[in-house]
Structure 1
Amino acid sequence: MRRRVKQTRSLEERMAEQAAKLKAMADQLPAGAERESLLKRARIVETGAHLGDWLNSPGLRQSD
């Protein structure tokens, strides 16, 4: 049986928090591949956090 978890924060909030954590981790590292990898992951997570906003934007709404 699959265990269900009730989320108290939205997916966007959790993704934004994850992006902030990744950036903070990257800030602790010297320039290099590992730092760039963390920053890339942070950008990807930030993009995902904003997808809902983009999908609900007036420009994407179907006209009647």
Structure 2
Amino acid sequence: MSASVKKKRNHVRQTISLQDRLAAFARDLVEMAASMPEGAERDSLLRRARTAEIAADIDDWVSSAGLQPPTP
């Protein structure tokens, strides 16, 4: 690829908040795990679901009005 050729970025406008998308993703993973037998794959799905829930909590905390920038 030539240095003068620029790739265009694919910009997508999200209509659903990150927190809602993460919650839905976690819920789907838990539902999938519930239909599986005990084992490593089920544990992996539950771990991913918990990670998505934590990410949603962090997003909520970061975007909260109570969060203040550090003072110099």
TM range (shorter): 0.7 to 0.9
1:25 alignment partner AA: M
How many percent identity over aligned positions? Answer: 44
Gaps of 5+ in 2: 1-7
Give the structure 1 partner of residue 42 of structure 2.
Answer: 35
Larger radius of gyration: 2
Give TM-score scaled by structure 1 length: 0.83
CA deviation map 1:15-35 (0-9, x unaligned): 000000100110110011110
Gaps of 5+ in 1: none
1:2 aligns with 2:9: yes
Task: Point out 4+ residue stretches in structure 1 off by more than 3 angstroms.
Answer: 60-64
Q: What is the CA–CA distance in structure 2 between the aligned matches of 1:54 and 1:44, rounded to whole Å?
A: 15
Matches within 5 A, 1:15-34: 15-34=22-41
Give the structure 2 partner of residue 49 of structure 1.
Answer: 56
Root mean square deviation, CA, Å: 1.9
Q: What is the CA–CA distance in structure 1 between the aligned matches of 2:33 and 2:23, rounded to whole Å?
A: 15
Give TM-score scaled by structure 2 length: 0.75
CA deviation map 1:36-60 (0-9, x unaligned): 00000000000001112333374x5
